[in-house]
Amino acid sequence: MTHKKAADHVDEPPAPPSATKTRVEEKQVQERVGINARVVYESVRREGEDELDRNPSALAWSGLAAGLSMGFSLLAEGLLTRYLPDAPWRPLIQKLGYSVGFLIVILGRQQLFTENTLTVILPLFLGPNFFVLYKVLRLWVIVLVSNLVGTFLFALCVARVPMFDSQIYQALAAVSREAPGPPWVLLVRAIFAGWLIALMVWLLPGARTARVSIIIIITYLIGLGGFSHIIAGSNKMFFLIVTHQETWASFFTRFMLPVLTGNIIGGISLVAFLGHAQVVAGEED
């Protein structure tokens, strides 16, 4: 027994040398070391569990607030379009307005449907059962519906209340007509948008002071690339519907169905599944 303990002791690798000499230096090093994938995974998973346990009325009010807040993406884009010259470089600045609504929603901790294609799915992957699936579907329905109600109310208010001059309303209409295309194209664009939003959620736990920069960079890319987002895009479609430039049938069949499907696919399969897989694989090594 003594020989075995000695052998075990010899097999242990020596501790790597450290250049730090004081606890203050070690603390400074720890503050600058990036967190690993397991820490990110656990942070996102716990956030998802907290969201699944929230009261339905709290989810609905938070989702309504997020839908209203997302309207400022449309308004900011419209205002920038109105006051910028009609030049080839205009979209490079105009699409910064697309990030405004996302900044308000994410920093304000409001419920946005596409964020929940990642956060609440990780608890389901970790311990799949019908009760967790029920809570995921309940949250999705509540948040999606409340988001859409909020975006519709914002579009209705902007379109019906004469707050701006006619040139701004023309700019809002022009911005709202930018995204439409064939349903299969919208589906592919929506997959990329769902992928990017879920990646943003994955990056935020380790962002520390760079949260605002990450939100702006990712959402700016979504806007500039014309990738379809179910809530931001619905706000534009609702503006066109309220101003009688689009129909409800077109909204549900040509826009909502492909974009909602694509956002879910992008968030779940390309990020939640891959993020889950790399952590599980790491635990098995």
Q: Which domains does the chain have, with CATH numbers?
A: 36-284 (1.20.1080.10)
Entry pTM? 0.84
Tens of pLDDT, residues 69-86: 999 999 999 999 999 999
Cβ count near 69 (within 10 Å)? 24
pLDDT for residue 6 is more than 50: no
Q: In a 3-state reduction of DSSP, which class is residue 29?
A: helix
> Could you tell me the CA-to-CA distances from 203 to 121, 147, 179 in Å, in that order?
16, 23, 27
Q: With 80 as the cut, is the pLDDT of residue 57 above it?
A: yes
Give the SS3 label for residue 214: helix
Q: How far apart are CA 159 and CA 117, in angstroms?
A: 31
pLDDT at 31 over 60: no
Average pLDDT over residues 248-266: 94
